């Protein structure tokens, strides 16, 4: 007998709502001009559906909100810190907890305690703030992700994998003594939310141990990575995401986490370690840059909501199933409409392939930035550029980095929007795609020195600068 189809549905019902409003096209044209064609500079009141990021934008549960009332705000020895320490040890398996205000606070401390000028830090694709802190500490990031990760059309199931041959070459060239740690990101953000496999992580860790090099995870989206391992990797189909997450972390010496993603809170993060001596050094910097060792960068209530969020994300597999299911719902709709998106659909968002959508705009005229602005003008949907603007300049040569991926990220906040919102987003992307020839490139009129994508300003290229459209085959 054929099995009846059963769709997934959100494992919660909605108890409180926040109104959002649609604006006119004229209003949005004015708003994006005022924002210098940078979606980071828009006011949230001018946005209809906000897919800028999944960071700090989750809806908390009633249990988390109740936790806010129970936060212990003691300056030292807060009960809420001990709850958090227990949650991190239980779910991630790390005994030493260094609480920070968010992920980059943890990256700052980790980079400062481990990196010396001239060091090399191999990693499976860069992340903006992670690489910034590595370079700020005097190190150099070297990309060791597999080649498929740089190809938006490759359907490799584990595009986040480390290329072990690339890693061996870096170790041979730089020497293990100049590599303080390797930085392995779970569900690689800049590759489109792509997982690495357990087998690859296990092998990478073994290679690191052989050379006496630490392996530090960016476990910010490790839960979503655990889900993909369960779905795609032989031997894991019957394991819970909770068990898989713990195994992921077992192949590392520590982790930085932005709790604003998987952990379902609006602020917070941590550095977690195994070695008490490293943790002691980290706490030395924590008290100088963040706060005392038992709150770091968070209030007691933040830590209380966070420890509850950590347990909640793995209580059953239903949460992550619905979360990734919603992302896939939007992605599959766009694929069905013929819109070029990065494949496979990632864990936290759908990434539009701006290069393929706008072949008439050269990378020097910021195709992804232009597409994000056009989408906003069409419907008030806010997205984020993940291409040449985000990649920034090479600190040695001062030249623009030219990533092969020129993407616009439609990032889905957790537990916030409904399937109907996803339908509206898909309709707008399809409408913009149908009129893609009308989209013009941009020139940058203000460029900040660091992490330029946050605050850069642009204006449309003048009509005379527009290159003739290349024929589309």
Residues tagged active-site: 75, 127-128, 218, 261, 386, 453
Residue 154 to residue 86: CA distance in whole angstroms: 40
If 0-12 CB within 10 Å is exposed, 13-18 middle and 19+ buried, where does residue 2 land? exposed
The Cβ of residue 395 has, within 10 Å, a number of other Cβ atoms equal to 12
Q: What's the longest Cα–Cα distance across the chain?
A: 66
- The distance of closest approach from Cβ of residue 259 to ligand PLI in the complex, given in angstroms and rounded to an integer, is 7
- The distance of closest approach from Cβ of residue 263 to ligand PLI in the complex, given in angstroms and rounded to an integer, is 10
- Nearest CB to ligand PLI, comparing residues 94 and 433: 94
For residue 5, what are its two tokens?
A: 């189809």
Q: Which of 37, 81, 92, 127 binds ligand PLI (CB under 6 A)?
A: 127
- The distance of closest approach from Cβ of residue 41 to ligand PLI in the complex, given in angstroms and rounded to an integer, is 15
Examine residue 436 and tell whether it contacts ligand PLI (CB under 6 A): no
Binding segment for ligand PLI among 24-32, 76-84, 126-134, 205-213 (CB under 6 A)? Answer: 126-134
Binding mask 72-111 for ligand PLI (x = CB under 6 A): ------------------------------xxx-------
Binding segment for ligand PLI among 40-48, 125-133, 274-282, 303-311 (CB under 6 A)? Answer: 125-133
- The distance of closest approach from Cβ of residue 298 to ligand PLI in the complex, given in angstroms and rounded to an integer, is 12
Decide if 159 contacts 188 (C-beta within 8 A).
yes
- The distance of closest approach from Cβ of residue 101 to ligand PLI in the complex, given in angstroms and rounded to an integer, is 8
- Nearest CB to ligand PLI, comparing residues 185 and 304: 185
- Nearest CB to ligand PLI, comparing residues 56 and 93: 56
- Nearest CB to ligand PLI, comparing residues 171 and 324: 324
Q: Which of 55, 58, 161, 183 binds ligand PLI (CB under 6 A)?
A: 55
- Nearest CB to ligand PLI, comparing residues 102 and 194: 102
Examine residue 53 and tell whether it contacts ligand PLI (CB under 6 A): yes
Binding segment for ligand PLI among 81-89, 123-131, 195-203, 322-330 (CB under 6 A)? Answer: 123-131
Smallest Cα–Cα separation from 114: which of 278, 312, 303, 347? 278
- Nearest CB to ligand PLI, comparing residues 301 and 360: 301
- The distance of closest approach from Cβ of residue 127 to ligand PLI in the complex, given in angstroms and rounded to an integer, is 5
Examine residue 386 and tell whether it contacts ligand PLI (CB under 6 A): no
- The distance of closest approach from Cβ of residue 124 to ligand PLI in the complex, given in angstroms and rounded to an integer, is 11
- The distance of closest approach from Cβ of residue 44 to ligand PLI in the complex, given in angstroms and rounded to an integer, is 15
- Nearest CB to ligand PLI, comparing residues 67 and 103: 103
Q: Which of 130, 134, 183, 370 binds ligand PLI (CB under 6 A)?
A: 130
Secondary structure, 3-state, the chain: CCCCCCCCCCCCCCCCCCCCCCCCHHHHHHHHHHCCCCHHHCCHHHCCEECCCCCCCCCCCHHHHHHHHCCCCCCCCCHHHHHHHHHHHHHCCCCEEEEECCHHHHHHHHHHHHCCCCCEEEECCCCHHHHHHHHHCCCEEEECECHHHHCCCCCCCCCCCECHHHHHHHHHHHCHHHCCEEEEECCECCCCCECCCHHHHHHHHHHHHHCCCEEEEECCCHHHHHHHHHHHCCCCCCCCHHHHHHHHHHCCCEEEEECCCCCCCCCCEEEEECCHHHHHHHHHHHHHHCCCCCCCCCCHHHHHHHHHHHHHHHCCCHHHHHHHHHHHHHHHHHHHCCCCECCCCCCCEEEEEHHHHCCCCCHHHCHHHHHHHHHHHHHCEECEEECHHHHCECCCCCCECCCCCCEEEEECCCCCCCHHHHHHHHHHHHHHHHCHHHCCCEEEEECCCCCHHHCCEEEECCHHHCCCCCCCC
Residue nearest to ligand PLI (CB): 103
Tokens 């920034």 — which residue?
392
Examine residue 385 and tell whether it contacts ligand PLI (CB under 6 A): no
Examine residue 258 and tell whether it contacts ligand PLI (CB under 6 A): yes
List binders of ligand PLI among 163-202 (CB under 6 A): 185, 189
Examine residue 403 and tell whether it contacts ligand PLI (CB under 6 A): no
- The distance of closest approach from Cβ of residue 234 to ligand PLI in the complex, given in angstroms and rounded to an integer, is 27
- Nearest CB to ligand PLI, comparing residues 55 and 355: 55
Binding mask 217-236 for ligand PLI (x = CB under 6 A): -x-x----------------
* Interface ranges with ligand PLI (CB under 6 A): 53, 55, 102-104, 127, 129-130, 185, 189, 218, 220, 258, 260, 269
């Amino acid at each position: 007998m054929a099995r009846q189809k059963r769709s997934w549905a959100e494992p919660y019902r909605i108890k409180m709502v926040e109104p959002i409003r649609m604006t006119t096209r004229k209003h949005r044209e004015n708003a994006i001009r005022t924002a210098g064609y940078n979606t980071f500079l828009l006011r949230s009141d001018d946005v209809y559906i906000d897919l800028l990021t999944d960071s700090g934008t989750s809806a908390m549960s009633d249990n988390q909100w109740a936790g806010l009332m129970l936060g212990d705000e003691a300056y030292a020895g807060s009960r809420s810190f001990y709850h958090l320490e227990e949650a991190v040890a239980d779910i991630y398996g790390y005994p030493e907890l260094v609480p920070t205000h968010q992920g980059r606070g943890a990256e700052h401390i980790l980079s400062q305690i481990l990196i010396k000028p001239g060091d090399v830090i191999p990693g499976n694709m860069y992340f903006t703030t992670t690489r910034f802190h590595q370079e700020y500490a005097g190190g150099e990031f070297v990309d060791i992700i597999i080649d498929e990760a740089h190809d938006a059309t490759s359907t490799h199931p584990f595009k986040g994998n480390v290329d072990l041959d690339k890693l061996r070459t870096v170790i041979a060239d730089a020497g293990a003594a100049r590599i303080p740690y390797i930085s392995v990101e779970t569900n690689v953000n800049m590759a489109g939310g792509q997982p690495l496999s357990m087998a690859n992580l296990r092998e990478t860790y073994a290679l690191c141990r052989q050379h006496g090099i630490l392996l530090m995870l960016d476990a910010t989206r490790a839960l979503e990575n655990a889900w993909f391992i369960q779905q795609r990797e032989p031997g894991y189909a019957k394991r819970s995401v909770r068990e898989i997450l713990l195994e992921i972390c077992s192949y590392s010496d520590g982790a930085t986490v932005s709790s604003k993603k998987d952990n379902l809170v609006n602020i917070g993060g941590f550095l977690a370690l195994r070695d008490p001596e490293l943790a002691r050094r980290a706490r030395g910097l924590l008290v100088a840059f963040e706060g005392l060792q038992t709150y770091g960068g968070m209030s007691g209530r933040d830590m209380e909501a966070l420890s509850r969020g950590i347990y909640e994300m793995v209580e059953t597999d239903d949460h992550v199933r619905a979360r990734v299911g919603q992302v896939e719902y939007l992605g599959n709709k766009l694929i069905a409409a013929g819109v070029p998106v990065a494949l496979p659909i990632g864990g936290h968002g759908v990434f539009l392939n701006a290069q393929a959508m706008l072949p008439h705009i050269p990378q020097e005229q910021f195709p992804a930035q232009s597409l994000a602005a056009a989408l906003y003008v069409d419907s008030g949907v806010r997205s984020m550029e993940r291409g040449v603007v985000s990649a920034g300049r090479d600190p040695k040569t001062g030249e623009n980095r030219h990533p092969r991926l020129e993407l616009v990220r439609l990032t889905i906040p957790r537990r916030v929007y409904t399937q109907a919102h996803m339908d509206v987003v898909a309709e707008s992307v399809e409408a913009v795609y149908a009129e893609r020839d009308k989209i013009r490139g941009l020139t940058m009129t203000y460029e900040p020195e660091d992490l330029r994508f946050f605050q850069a300003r642009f204006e449309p290229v003048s009509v005379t600068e527009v290159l003739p459209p290349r024929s589309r085959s």
